[in-house]
Chains A and B, each alone.
Chain A
Amino acid sequence: MATHLPGSPLSQSELEENFSDIHPPLSRSEALIEADRCYFCYDAPCTAACPTDIDIPGFIQQIRSDNIRGSARTILSANIMGGMCARVCPTEVLCEQDCVRNTHEDKPVVIGLLQRYATDPVIQSGKQLFPRKADSGRRVAVVGAGPAGLSCAHRLSTLGHRVDLFDGQEKLGGLNEYGIAAYKTVDEFAQREVQYILDVGGIERQPGRLGGDLTLDHLLGNYDAVFLGVGLGDVNNLGLDGEDTAGVVDAVEYIAELRQADDLGELAVGQNVLVIGGGMTAIDVAVQSRKLGAGQVTIAYRRGPEQMNASRHEQDYARTQGVVIRHWLSPRELQVTDNRVAGMLMDRTRLGPDGSPEPSGETVTLPADVVFKAIGQQLHWNQLADARDALATERNRIKVDDQRRTSHQRIWAGGDCVAGGEDLTVSAVQDGKLAAHSIDDYLRQNHG
C-alpha cells in the first residue's frame, strides 16, 4: 500500500505479543472441567445453531471420556474445517448463543475452544480419519480452494470421486490464508489444515484460473461436474473522486499483505487511520492497524450499532483495542493534499423514510493519512464472464437451491459467491459439503 508511510513503530517483541493467539488453547484440565459443564442436551440447541450441524454434545462427551480422536472425528465428519471454525466462528452468535447455560447462568460452555482442543491434535499428527470409498471413476472440477471449495473437494474425495482443484492464488485456503485476522489463526494453521484436507487423497491441484487460462466450457467438457467456490474477488468502491489517491487502500488487500508478511514491522502503518465500513473486514483492519501501532483508528459506519454486520462481541473487542467506532457517518468527499489523502468530509446520516440512511445536512471532517475501504466485496464478474452468461444470479451473486445446485445441471456453487449465504467460513464449509452430496447423488444416478 501507500509506501509514503513508515513501518510499525513497535518493537518485534511488541508485535509478536500483539499478534499472538487471541484465545490460547485450553489445557487438558481446563478442557475436562469445561466439558463437564455441558448438559448433554436433548436435541441440542447448539447443534441446531451450528451451520454445519456438528453434534456438539456428542463431541464434548468424547472429550470427557478422553477419546480425543473420536471427538475430532465427530467434529470433522460434519465440518472438515472444524479446526479453523473453532478459531474464527463468531460463536457468540452461533452455537454458544444458544447454549442453555446462558439461561442458567449467563455463561455458555466455550464450545469453540473445546472444538479446538479436540481437533488440534489430529491436524498436528496428520492422522486421517475418513477412508475414501472405492473409486467411482468420476471426476469433478472444483474452482476456488477456499473453505467452500476445500470442503467440497474433501467430501467428494471420501465419496469416491476424483477432484481437480483450481485456484488463482499461490497458496490454497482462500480467505483462511489471506483474509482472517492474523491473531485468530497463528502458526500457519491455515496451511496445516489445507495440507490435512488434501492428504485425504484423490485431490489434485491443477494450474489455471477461471476466466484467465481456463473456461467453464473447458471444465464442463473435461469433468463430470463443476463446483464453483470462487468467493468475492472484487471490492466495492466508495464511488468518490480520487479513490486512487495514495493512502486510499482496499482493506482486504492490506489484510492479505499483512497475512503474508514475513516481517510485520515493515508494513506501512498510518498515524490517523479511517476505516469506512461496518463488517468483519472493517473491524479486522481497524484492530490489526492498532496492533501494528497505528496512532488513531476510527471506524465510520453509516448506520447505527445494531445494523453493523460485525457482532457486538467483535465491536467490543475492537473497542478494547483502542478503536473508536463512530456511527451515522457516510463518506462524502476525499480530502487530498500533495497527492496524498489528508482526510474525509463525511455526511452525518439519519434513518430515512425507506429505512436506509440519508444525509442529515450536517457534515464533519475526519483527518486521515490512511483511508481503508471496507464496505463489502462482490463477485469478480470481469473474471467470471462466462459464468455470468451460463448461470442465473440473484442480488448479483450466483443463484443456488438448497442443495447448492446452480441453474446449470452440472454446475454447483457455494460459499461467499452464492446468494443468500452468511459470508462466514462455517457456512462456506457447509455449502461445499451439501454440494458434494448433491454432486454425488447426481453422478451416481446419471452415471450409475
Chain B
Amino acid sequence: MADLNSTFLGITSPNPFWLASAPPTDKAYNVNRAFEAGWGGAVWKTLGEDPPIVNVSGPRYGAIHSNERRVIGFNNIELITDRPLQVNLDEIRQVKRDWPDRALVVSLMLPMNEQTWAQYLPMIEDTGCDGVELNFGCPHGMSERGMGSAVGQVPEYIQMATEWAKKHARTPVIIKLTPNVTNIVPPARAARAGGADGVSLINTINSIMRVDYDTLTMWPATDGQGTHGGYCGPAVKPIALNMVAEIARNPETAGLPVSGIGGITDWRDAVDFLALGASNVQVCTAAMVYGFKIIDDLVQGLSDFLDDKGMASVSDLVGKAVPSVTDWQYLNLNYVEKAHIDQDLCISCGRCHVVCEDTSHQAISHTVNGVRRFEVNDAECVGCNLCTSVCPVDGCITMRPMTSGVDPRTGQKITSEKRNWTEHPNNPMCNS
C-alpha cells in the first residue's frame, strides 16, 4: 500500500487532499464533517476585516449541466466569510485542537496596508493553524474593493503583500493565485520574490453563465441584475493544469511548491495535477456537488494507482510529467501517427467519417465496395486525433505511430531522427 501521507511546506496531512477555501470550509460544522469523512486538510473560508462583508440573499451559484444534470461548470458570486472574525477564530482553534493530524490552513484577504496585516496575522496564527493562504484570487465583489484578484493581477502588489505577510507570520505563507491573467508566471515569480513558501492555484475564472431565455436578462440574477462570477468545476481543469505546469517548467518559478486546484473530481484529476508539478491538491466544487464522501474515491483511487505504478508515496508522482511539457517549437515534426479503426469494435455510427470529411482531411470512408464501412486512408490522414476524440466506443479508434517505411500522405521516409521547428527549412529563422 502506497503511503498517502503528505507534507506540503512542512505541513503534514494523512493524504494530499485538502478542501479549498470555500463554503465547504465555512465553519466548524462543515470542517468537522469533512475530517470525519477523511479529508486530509482544509483551508478555512477566507477571513477578512470586521465588520464582516454581506452576501446577496438570492442565488449565489449557477451551473452548466450535462443532460443527466451532471455539473460540468459552476459559478459563484459569494464573497469571503460573512461571519464575525472572532467566531471564526474560536472555531478554528477548536477544530485544530480536535484534529491535530489534519492540515488546517487559514485563508485571508486584507486591504493593502501593512498595519492591517501586522494586526491580523498574529491573531490568526494564535489559533494554532498550520499556515496561512493569502487570497489574491477572488474575481468578483472583493476585487471591486481593491482586494482578491485586483491584487493577484498586479505582480508588484503580490510581492509587496507577500513581503508583509512573511514579515508578520511565523507559519508558512501560501499565495493563492488568480487565473484571470494572460500569463501565470509573473504572478508566481512575484510571490516567490516576496518570500512565499508556496502558491496555490487556480482560484475561479471571470464568467457569466448564460441569459434567461424568457426575460433576456443575465442568469442567475439578483432582482433582475447579475454580475460576473467565478467559474470552477470540471470545465476549468485544463486551464488550471496548464498554469500549474507553466510554473513547474519555467526556470524562474520551477521548484516553487504548488498546491493544485481546479475541477478535481476524481482521483485521476488529482494524478494530473500531481504529475504536472503540484505537491498536493485542493477541492471545492466536487465536494459542493457530491458531498464529502467523494474523498473515499480520491484516496483509494490514488492509492491503488500508486501501487500499480510501483510508487511508494505521493512524492514519487509529483512532477513526473513535467519534463514532457515543452514549447510547440520543440515538438518533433518528423514523428507520424495514423488513425486506425478496429473493425470488430466499430458500431458503424459514422461519426468519424463525417467529422473528418466535414472538418478535417477527408481520410475516412463511409462505404467500401458498396457496404457501410469506415476505414482510414493513410494517404490523407494527418494524425490529428479528431476521429478518436469523437468516436463513442472506447478503444475503437487508436492512433498508431509509424516506425518505418514511407508516410503515404507526404511521401517522406519515416525516420527516427528528430527535427523540430527550430531546425525546419520552412522556418525563416532557421539557418540549418
Contacts and interface: CB of A to CB of B under 8 A. Distances in A.
A41 B350 contact: yes
Contacts of B351: 39-42
A32 B68 CA distance: 7
A39 B391 CA distance: 9
A269 B393 CA distance: 52
Contacts of A44: 350
A43 B366 contact: yes
A32 B67 contact: yes
Nearest to B391: A39
Interface string B43-54: 000000000000
A302 B372 CA distance: 38
A129 B66 CA distance: 29
A36 B354 contact: no
A25 interface: no
Contacts of A104: 347, 392-393
A42 B347 contact: no
Given A39-B392, A42-B354, A42-B366, A33 B349 contact: no
Contacts of B354: 42-43
Contacts of B393: 104
Nearest to A57: B349
A419 to B, nearest CB: 29
Most buried by A among B69, B349, B393: B349
Given A42-B353, A43-B366, A103 B67 contact: no
Contacts, number: 42
Nearest to B374: A42
A3 interface: no
Contact of B66 (A36, A39, A43, A101): A36
Interface residues of A, number: 17
Most buried by A among B68, B350, B354, B366: B350
Contacts of A100: 347-349
B341 to A, nearest CB: 14
Interface in B52-101: 66-69
Interface residues of B, number: 15
B67 A36 contact: yes
A382 interface: no
B427 to A, nearest CB: 38
Contacts of A103: 347-348
Interface string A19-39: 000000000010011011001
Most buried by A among B67, B348, B354: B67
A106 to B, nearest CB: 11
A45 interface: yes
A64 interface: yes
Contacts of A45: 348, 372
B69 A29 contact: yes
Interface in B306-357: 347-351, 353-354
Contacts of B349: 39-42, 100
Contacts of B67: 32-33, 35-36, 64
Given A42-B353, A43-B366, A36 B347 contact: no
Given A33-B67, A35-B67, A42 B392 contact: no
Nearest to A98: B348
Contact of A43 (B69, B350, B392): B350
22 contacts: A36-B66, A36-B67, A39-B347, A39-B349, A39-B351, A40-B351, A41-B348, A41-B349, A41-B351, A42-B350, A42-B351, A42-B353, A42-B366, A43-B372, A44-B350, A45-B348, A45-B372, A64-B67, A100-B347, A100-B348, A101-B347, A103-B347
Interface of A: 29, 32-33, 35-36, 39-45, 64, 100-101, 103-104
The 3 closest A-B pairs by CB, nearest first: A42-B350, A42-B354, A32-B67
Interface of B: 66-69, 347-351, 353-354, 366, 372, 392-393
Given A32-B67, A32-B68, A43-B372, 7 more contacts: A33-B67, A42-B351, A42-B353, A42-B354, A100-B347, A103-B348, A104-B347
